[in-house]
Amino acid sequence: MKRFSLFKTIGLFLLFLHFTSCQEDKPLVYELTVDTSHIEFSFETSVYQIALNANYHWEISNCPDWLTVIPASGSGNTRLTINCDANTKTEERKAELKIQCGQETQMLFIRQSAKGILAFTLSDTLVYENPAEIPLPVSHSVDFKLTVSPSCDWLSIFQKEKGQYILTVSLLKQDLYRTAQVILQATDYSLRDTLQITQTTYTHHIRTLLEKFYQETNGSQWGNHTNWLSSLPLQEWYGLELKNNRLIKISLSNNNLSGNLPEILYELSDLKELYLNNNSLQGSLSPSIRKLTNLERLNLSYLPLTGDIPEELWSLPELRFLELGSNSFNPVAIPYKKLKKIKALHFSFFPLLNGLSSEIQELTQLETLELFECHVTGPLPPELFRLKNLKFIQLTYNGINGEIPPEIGNMNQLKILNLADNKLKGNIPPEIGKLTQLETLDLSTNELSGNVPEEIGNLIHLKNFTIRRNYLRGKISKKIQQLPYWDTFDLSFILPQINGFLELE
């Protein structure tokens, strides 16, 4: 009996000890403190440490993916390390971390500033031998400094006004070529940007580009490469023209150029005329064509070029004459509103998505319009006949329908009108007789009907007259037969119709 009482006493004692130890594991009052509740990070990768004091197990939650806390849980006092990734966004980032210790909670508020901005808004720059001043625009949200590397006496930087810097380049006297970097460095951060400045003589630079162009287009196989790669002046190289020591023209049409259309062409920024038609150059037009800001005439017809026509082509400020026929470009809509200075458009053998839209009236300077087999459909828009500077209209092998509007008589500068191989209907309008400068009239292979208007006899400059393969009837008046060049006309181009023959009066 005494032994049982002893065991009972020992059991109660052990139970008391267990209860007492549990009471020590869970304190009556939870304690949790941190030495700061607000942390500010810059936009760069950063690390911050804080002291955490607790008398029980604690755990951190609500941590976003751009923050890492080590350790994220534990027991008792510790030191937290908070790693913050770089902010690559233009908005600031915020987080609210929750630290839980039993029933006690602490919030840790973290803010990271938006991405820092520090960059030149000017691309790498080439200058020629004469002294120059180059503005150095800088986009920034932090303090910075500018230096030149390697240090040299031909480049210097001065501040024109607050935040506006000018880079001065001295005269290139003896060297053919020199280069240096302008370094943009943040004063308090690791942000930086560099700008390459190259100075060379104009002739050396152009020769270098032309030599690369020659190699990339298999110059040794050209039909004519007289003086290319020689030490003779550039104006003596075949197909080149210079004015005031500037390369303004490359004319290498039908000369057996092959390979891809070289990107270096777009570096010849003084070019006013570029003729590479009727060669075997492949590839596509690059958006870099925007660099040819002086280009007035461009002929890339009869080349196996593919891809999209870049928007930058339409925006060339001086472009006046454009020929892109017989390529394999993707279908395109001509942005007429961007071509208000254009004088000649030559397209053929690839689809135009907008054809002859009403926006063509924007081309008030247009003198030549050639859309040969370009899938143009619909009627002739009245807006076309408001272009009184037009001298040449070539719209053959399309699907143009409807009637020839009488407004055509407004085009008193017109010399060539070719509407052959379409689906035009109705009568030939007598107003055509007002086109007193007309030399060529081709309305063949349409669905025109009615009589041949006597007013065509007013066209005293008419040298080519073709109206065959229509549904015309009746007789051709003596007035027409008295035209100065009537005896040179081939009647087989005039009389035969789809359902019979016209007759002479």
Does 17 map to a domain?
A: no
Examine the domain organization and report whether 165 and 292 are in the same domain.
no
**pLDDT per position as a tens digit, 450-501:** 999 999 999 999 999 999 999 999 999 999 999 999 999 999 999 999 999 9
- The answer to whether position 474 is within a domain reads yes
pLDDT on residue 163: 75
Mean per-residue pLDDT for 410-431? 97
pLDDT in tens, 270-297: 999 999 999 999 999 999 999 999 999 9
Same domain, 321 and 238: yes
pLDDT exceeds cutoff 90 at 4: no
Which of 297, 319, 317 has its CA nearest to residue 249? 297
Q: What would the pLDDT profile of 297-320 be if each residue is shown by its tens digit?
A: 999 999 999 999 999 999 999 999
Tell me the pLDDT tens digit for each residue of 80-119. 999 999 999 999 999 999 999 999 999 999 999 999 999 9
- Rounded CA-CA distance 459/482 in Å is 10
Tens digit of each residue's pLDDT (9 = 90 or more) over 68-85: 999 999 999 999 999 999
CB 435 within 8 A of CB 411: yes
CATH of residue 45: 2.60.40.10
CB 348, CB 371: distance < 8 Å: yes
Asked whether 429 and 402 are in contact (CB, 8 A), the reply is no
Digit-coded pLDDT (tens) for 383-393 = 999 999 999 99
Which position has the token pair 């940007």?
A: 193
| 194 and 206 co-located in one domain | no
348, 427: one domain: yes
Lowest mean pLDDT among 48-62, 160-174, 258-272: 160-174
Per-residue pLDDT, 18: 45
Q: Please give the pLDDT value at position 175.
A: 85
Same domain, 178 and 252: no
pLDDT band of 23, cuts 50, 70, 90:
very low
Does residue 81 sit in the same domain as residue 177?
no
- Same domain? For 374 and 278 the reply is yes
The pLDDT of residue 30 is above 50: yes
pLDDT for 29 beyond 60: yes
Domain that holds residue 370: 202-504
Predicted pLDDT of residue 16: 44
Q: DSSP letter for 215, please.
A: H
pLDDT (mean) for 205-233: 97
pLDDT the model gives residue 350: 82
Both 296 and 186 in a single domain?
no
| Domain identity same for 39 and 143 | no
Boundary residue ending a domain (63, 84, 112): 112
- Digit-coded pLDDT (tens) for 121-146: 999 999 999 999 999 999 999 999 99
Is position 25 within any domain? no
Express each pLDDT in 177-191 by its tens digit.
Answer: 999 999 999 999 999
Does residue 6 fall inside a structural domain? no
The answer to whether 110 touches 97, Cβ cutoff 8 Å, is yes
The Cβ of residue 176 has, within 10 Å, a number of other Cβ atoms equal to 14
State which of 112, 143, 160 marks the end of a domain: 112
Question: For residues 83 and 204, what is the distance between their CA atoms, to the nearest angstrom?
Answer: 53
- Averaged over 345-361, what is the pLDDT? 90
Q: Are residues 142 and 85 in the same domain?
A: no
What is the structure's pLDDT at 243? 96
Domain harbouring 271, CATH code? 3.80.10.10
Domain contains 8 = no
Output the pLDDT for position 66: 97
Structural domains counted in the chain: 3
Domain boundary among 159, 182, 200: 200
Q: Is residue 7 part of a domain?
A: no
Q: What is the pTM (predicted TM-score) of this model?
A: 0.77
- Evaluate whether 289 touches 269 at the Cβ level (below 8 Å): no
Residue 294 to residue 319: CA distance in whole angstroms:
8
User: Is residue 268 domain-shared with residue 416, that is, in the same domain?
Assistant: yes
If you average pLDDT over residues 35-54, what whole number do you get? 96
Is there a domain that residue 38 lies in?
Answer: yes
Same domain (yes/no): 89, 145: no
Flag whether 18 is in a domain: no
